[in-house]
Amino acid sequence: MADAVAVDTWDARGVRLGDVVNALADLRHQASEHNTARTAVMTLIAVAPGDEDAYSATTALRSLGGHHPARILILRPDPDQVAALDARTTLYAVRADGHQINFEEVTLCVSGQAANHLDSLVEAFTLSDLPVVVWYVNSVPDPGDPLLSVASAVLLDSRDAGGRLRNLLELARRRTVVDLSWIRLAPWRELLAGLFDPAECRAWLDGVTGVEVQGKTGPRTLLGGWLTSQLGLRPDQVALNDGKHVELRVSCRHGGETATFDVQRGERERTVAAQATLPSGPAHHQSISLADDPLPTALAVALTRLRPDVTWEKALSSATNLTV
Amino acid sequence: MTVDLPPNPLAEGLETTRTAPPGVLVVVGASGDLTARKLLPALEQLCRRRLLPHAFAVIGVARTALDDDGFRQLMTSAVPDAAPGWSEIVKHSRYVAGDYVDNETFIRLKGTLSEVEADIGSPGNRTFYLATVPSVFEEVADGLGAAGLNQPVHDDASVRLVIEKPFGRDLDSARGLDAALHRTFAERQIYRIDHYLGKETVQNVLALRFANAIFEPLWNRSYIDHVQITVAESLGVEKRGGFYETAGALRDIVQNHVMQVLSLTLMEPPGSIDAQGIRDEKVKALRSVVIPTLDQVRTDVVRAQYDSGWSEGAAVPAYRQEPDVDPSSQTETYVAMKLEVDNWRWAGVPIYIRTGKRLPKRLTEVALQFQKVPHLAFAADESRDLRPNTLVLRIQPDEGVALRFGAKVPGQAFNVRDVLMDMSYGSAFLEEAPEAYERLLLDAMVGDPTLFIRSDEVDQAWQIVDPLLEAWASKTVPLAGYAAGTWGPRQADQLIEKDGRQWRTP
């Protein structure tokens, strides 16, 4: 699939919301003149105050154009500045297999008090009858954030929660939350689960003596919580260690013998490998490639899973009891 | 022996719940074209999407003299730039060389299976994929049965047999094949592939009909005037002249692909979208199709063969001039027919079917033409361009749904004309759908038979087609000719025009 190409753009500073809506309508009209299909399955709102966040968010979202055709709304709130609204609307086209579809991207730089009331701005841009997904880029919202009222689902990254995991749990009780960290860690979870698929390995799950999780704070805490809740472990059976890459080890004892089940960085670049070490020796090796472009890949997956995830909630809940 | 595996708590909540269970795929005919061109690339894609288990291997069986390393080399070269997990599968894969009529081949296969299963830790799930010519299906099934490979090694293990169309050459031979397979395998173990059913857009017929409330109330004789099913190919027989001489359009397309599309179009809503629900309703729909009498075949069926002509800007030869084709061949490359359906939903709604090679374009579609409005209030000259509404399900290429309806032409006068509201799946989702083989291979290993054809479906489809074959044999239906690159012979137009209708121009 080719990259999204800007067909036309409009931008202005110090505008009223109606001006932006009109500009967007003009762009849409232009798309119909070009006789290209305009299909959308959702409105995608990214809240990205900083320049760097906004850049990475827009780059990732544009790359999704063909997978999840959506109207994209980038919100850049800055409550500390003088009240003003600057805006840019752009019509993008993306082609694949002879098809071209258009999608619109609106960036609103909202300064002043209005930055605390983003919900009052976004409804003018949401597509009727379609889900509204709000992505908090590199931040975790306060459960009382008014913007949440328009969200059918919330995307965030639990690694940004720091010590506020309980806030996340509270949020998950009110809204559908999809955690990008949880999705990025899926290969580790799948590989570890897969090690216990063969009949000769399954029995070892009855005798788990402890688990070790290595990685940065966010992922290691979340995976530690997952192993604790799924394997019914006590917090003292879970060792969390700092490390550059995520690694998992499950140690087991069964019938007087021991076995270990490991998932770690593979020998090849951007691969993860799983290995069971049974009393008879190493067995059941499998490795998989990680996505070259982790953020767009995780986003694309997240947008297909806009529903509550009980396993994630249990993992998060257990993680709050672990010592980081 | 029963092995009760406790649940794997770490697998809870993982999204890839349709992962194949640990097991071995045995490909019989492993050195052939289908294996290298379709099966191995589909398996590698499943591996890439992490839909294959840790404990998985392939065993190739064929007459070709190869050893394990030779087969592994074949597996590697069939999929350049394979996913990293592929090499692990290749490493555990093995090859058994031998003749299919020799029971010793299958006894050696049994030994190899046990070794591989011990090697990878598989609990004994086995899928036998017959990528061979149909003429050896029976021998292979018998060989597997004689070696005891038709039975699972314990109660919780599965044994499945996957075969590809054609399922017989007529009703008798299809029943003979079924009887032969059922000697060794139970019907629930047999997975009959028609790759058409693996196509995303064929499955979309179900989604369109049963996930939307607006279409189903109109999907009946009260609103629909007639149905047209078109399966058109722009290519000729290419290098398949030898095969095509023994098949013809009726066997190659109508008995399987067309009947599958027909049954999905006509079927009643199933109680649930599962294998039994869908397949029961498909069979019921086919049973409602009136089996044509010889008289009806004479009046309602046209068969034809392409002459030379121009196709896609190039001069192309007649069918009889194609390589490996008898210069006086009577094989049809085109069939048009009218079928009737005897049930409450469809009584009185004719189904027009046409399929052929060397037609102007490659296309598969189902068009439901609605009845005219009971009274057209507009003056004749204001609505002369207005035709009845049509809902078109495009299956390939450019998959989508189109609805033709009348709209006012802007201006002072009240002129009404047709407009087309055209939705293309490709424009809604640029995402690449899985290949048909990828989907069907996974379904077979998972044990989901929804998209496979049950024995009674095959039988019913042959019952509809068999009278036509008999008419062919008795030369009751003359073989017409049509120029390559056209929509078929004049007789096909007459077939529908005598009912006051016309073929669509897709």
**Least confident residue range of A75-79, A123-127, B90-94, B332-336:** A123-127
Does residue A94 register a pLDDT over 60? yes
Alpha carbons within 13 angstroms on the beta-carbon side of residue B85 total 29
Q: What is the pLDDT of residue B1?
A: 41
Please tell me what DSSP assigns to residue B14.
Answer: -
A34 pLDDT band, cuts 50/70/90, is: low
d(CA A302, CA A312): 13
Laid out side by side, the sheet with A257-265 consists of A238-242, A208-215, A247-254, A257-265, A271-278, A281-289
Please report residues of B whose CB lies closer than 8 A to that of A271. 84
The alpha carbon of residue A135 is apart from the nearest alpha carbon of chain B, in Å, by: 21
Query: Residue B355: beta bridge partners?
Result: B231, B335
Q: Which of B154, B195, B257, B375 is catalytic?
A: B257
Q: What is the pLDDT of residue A287?
A: 75
Residues A170, A144 contacting (CB under 8 angstroms): no
For residue B415, the Cα-to-chain-centroid distance in whole angstroms is 44
Q: What is the pLDDT of residue B52?
A: 87
Q: What is the pLDDT of residue B2?
A: 41
CA angle A78–A82–A88, rounded 5-degree value? 60
Peptide bond before B292: cis, by omega within 30 degrees of 0? no
What torsion do the CA atoms of B255, B260, B262, B267 make, to the nearest 10 degrees? 130
- The encoded tokens of residue B241 equal 């002249």
Q: What is the pLDDT of residue B112?
A: 96
Annotated active-site residue B92? The verdict is: no
Alpha helix ranges (H) inside B121-222: 137-146, 171-184, 200-210
Give me the DSSP letters along B50-77: T-S-SSEEEEEEESS---HHHHHHHHHH
Partner residue facing A97 (CB), from B84, B121, B426: B426
Contact between A192 and B431 using a beta-carbon 8 Å cutoff: no
- The encoded tokens of residue A43 equal 């409105």
**Mean predicted confidence (pLDDT) in A100-104:** 79
The alpha carbon of residue B474 is apart from the nearest alpha carbon of chain A, in Å, by: 47
pLDDT < 70: residue spans in chain B: 1-4, 15-17, 384-385, 398, 424-433
B120–chain A Cβ distance below 8 A for any pair: yes
Please tell me what DSSP assigns to residue B39.
Answer: I
d(CA A319, CA B304): 71
Beta strands B334-339 and B351-356, pairing class: antiparallel
Sign of CA dihedral A226, A230, A235, A241: negative
Q: Which residues fall within 8 angstroms of residue B313, CB to CB, at 6 or more apart?
A: none
Does residue A323 register a pLDDT over 70? no
Does residue A119 register a pLDDT over 90? no
Residue in A200, A286, A263 with CA at minimum distance from that of residue B54: A286
Query: With DSSP H G I counted as helix, E B as strand and the rest as coil, what are the percentages for chain B, rounded to 5?
Result: 40, 20, 40
pLDDT tens, residue by residue, A266-300 = 877 788 889 999 888 767 677 777 877 888 889 98
Contact between A69 and B428 using a beta-carbon 8 Å cutoff: yes
Residue in B362, B127, B411 with CA at minimum distance from that of residue B236: B362
pLDDT tens, residue by residue, A133-162 = 999 999 999 888 989 988 999 999 998 888
d(CA B58, CA B191): 18
Q: What is the pLDDT of residue B104?
A: 95
Does residue A191 register a pLDDT over 60? yes
